[in-house]
Amino acid sequence: MRATISQLYPRLWLYSKKNYCGCRYVWRGNRALRNLDRLYSHLGSLRFYAPSKEATLVLFSRANFQGHFRIYRGTTNIPDLKSLFGGRGPGSLIISSYCLKAEQVRMIRRTGCLPPGFLVV
């Protein structure tokens, strides 16, 4: 009998406090978190890891993929989420194993619909 290990990328670690401290929450694969305030009362920092430089992390300033957004490619560490959107942390986010272009992100913001293969939470 042979054992197999399934590694699912990308990986996102969300922390309840700044500088990667406090409670840790882990997400794997192509995911979209629609309302971070509803899921977590407070988020302070995050780590995003993917072996591919094409993997994408998109942070939105408001829930439901609305407001301003920032796109990060490849492995990314953000020690203080409050520094991103004028003192407020992100309201929603998307992690993807492949490259999401700015036009695709604008379409998601406009329609609220993600490409096939994403689990929306």
Q: Give the start-to-end residue ranges of the domains of the chain.
A: 11-120
CA distances from residue 113 to 13, 38, 66, 120 in whole angstroms, order as listed: 24, 19, 12, 10
Supply 75's token pair: 């492995």
Q: What is the model's pTM? A: 0.91
Supply 9's token pair: 């990328």
Tens-place pLDDT, residues 16-47: 999 999 999 999 999 999 999 999 988 999 99
CATH class, domain 11-120, is mainly beta
Element (H, E) at 108: helix 102-111
How is the chain split among helix, strand and coil, in percent rounded to 5? 15, 40, 40
